Structure formats: C-alpha cells, structure tokens
C-alpha cells in the first residue's frame, strides 16, 4: 500500500480475506442486471482510467507510485482491469494482479449503480472459466461480505496461495507473455 511520503508498504494480514469461487454469492437482482447486458464488460481496455478512478476517494493507498508500479505490472501482463461500460462510458470496474491461478484484487469503483458489483461477478466467472482457484481480497469489508467473502487464517491462505501459484492460468488472451515472475513466485 502506498503512503503519502511516496513509500510503499507490504501488508500480509492475518486473517486474510478471500472470496471462495465455489461459495461466491450475488443477489438475484444483481444477477439479473449482470445477465441482461446493461453493461458492456471488457478486460484491459481502460487500465489507466480504472486505476485512477479507484484512487479517487477521500482516503486512498493508491498513490502515484502505486499507479506507476501497477502500470508496469500491467504492461508485463500481470495486472489487469475489468471494466463495465454503460452507454459507451466507463461506469465502473476493478483491478488486480493475476499470478498462476491466483487473482489479488486491489480496488474497485463505480459511477453507475451496480457497475463495480457486475465487474466482480464478471471477474469470478472469468476466473472459473480459466481454472483460477484463489481470489484474494486482503481485508474483509461489509460490501465484500455480501458476496460470501470470508476471513481465513494466514496459514490456510499461504497453503492456498502456494497451490494457486503452481497452476498455469491466463487471465488475458495474450499467450505470448513471458512468465519469469510466475516461475520465481512458484519457489515461494
């Protein structure tokens, strides 16, 4: 997480919040919104806009340095954005980092009701389709709790992370990206 002085801190909470893909729950109303196609869902088409919109809040850990570093990860093929467009305009989205079979969700935003929630549903569906096993949310919030997010002990998280890192999953459709970071993290 970024700090006002430009430094970046590494946090590893215990317990750690995850969204178990098999237990994921969205309300019937939200699923109707998702299925009716109100939002045009896209991946990695508005990276810069998504991360900057996520940073626009009263209190944020998404500093200029965080934006720079995550943008480098995006350019390397590890950081991704999920975007919900409404009437041709970016209405909401989220971003995170995918390594192996894990996706570490970082932040989400919306300017249109349900746009960030629909982005989360889309993320979970994409992860399931591509055989991902871990959706990391770091910290529990009331909002994430409505989707069946839960805290697990750090020891269980580390076991799940190790298993996820040993998977060969692709979040985006570019199969030509090199994976030295993925290979290095598997030694973790």
The answer to the question of residue 7 being in a domain is no
Enclosing domain of residue 45: 16-186
* Token reading at 155: 């020891």
For 5-56, how does the pLDDT look when each residue is reduced to its tens digit (9 = 90+)? 666 656 688 899 999 999 999 999 999 999 999 999 999 999 999 999 999 9
**pLDDT beneath 70, residues of the chain:** 1-11, 174-188
The answer to the question of residue 6 being in a domain is no
Tell me the whole-structure pTM to 2 decimals.
0.90
The answer to the question of residue 1 being in a domain is no
The answer to the question of residue 34 being in a domain is yes
Could you give the strand order of the β-sheet that contains 134-138, starting from the edge strand earlier in sequence?
Answer: 40-43, 79-86, 89-99, 102-110, 134-138, 16-18, 150-152
Strands 150-152 and 16-18 turn out to be: antiparallel
Q: Any idea what the CATH number is for the domain that residue 27 is in?
A: 3.40.630.70
Is the omega angle on the peptide bond into residue 158 within 30 degrees of 0, that is, cis? no
Q: Are 1 and 66 in contact (CB under 8 A)?
A: yes
The answer to the question of residue 167 being in a domain is yes
The answer to the question of residue 9 being in a domain is no
Q: Give the count of domains, the chain.
A: 1
């Amino acid at each position: 997480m970024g700090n006002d002085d430009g430094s970046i801190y590494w946090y590893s909470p215990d317990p750690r919040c995850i969204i178990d893909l098999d237990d994921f729950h969205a309300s019937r109303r939200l699923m109707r919104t998702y299925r009716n196609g109100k939002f045009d869902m896209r991946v990695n088409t508005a990276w810069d806009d998504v991360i900057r919109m996520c940073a626009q809040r009263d209190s944020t850990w998404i500093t200029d340095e965080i934006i720079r570093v995550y943008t480098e990860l995006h350019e390397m093929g590890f950081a991704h954005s999920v975007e919900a467009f409404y009437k041709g305009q970016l209405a909401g989205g989220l971003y995170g980092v995918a390594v192996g079979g894990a996706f570490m969700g970082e932040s989400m935003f919306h300017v249109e009701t349900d746009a960030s929630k629909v982005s989360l549903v889309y993320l979970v569906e994409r992860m399931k389709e591509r055989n991902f096993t871990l959706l990391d949310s770091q910290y529990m919030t009331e909002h994430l709790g409505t989707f069946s997010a839960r805290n697990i002990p750090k020891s269980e998280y580390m076991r799940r992370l190790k298993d996820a890192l040993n998977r060969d999953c692709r979040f985006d459709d570019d199969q030509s990206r090199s994976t030295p970071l993925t290979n290095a993290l598997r030694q973790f």
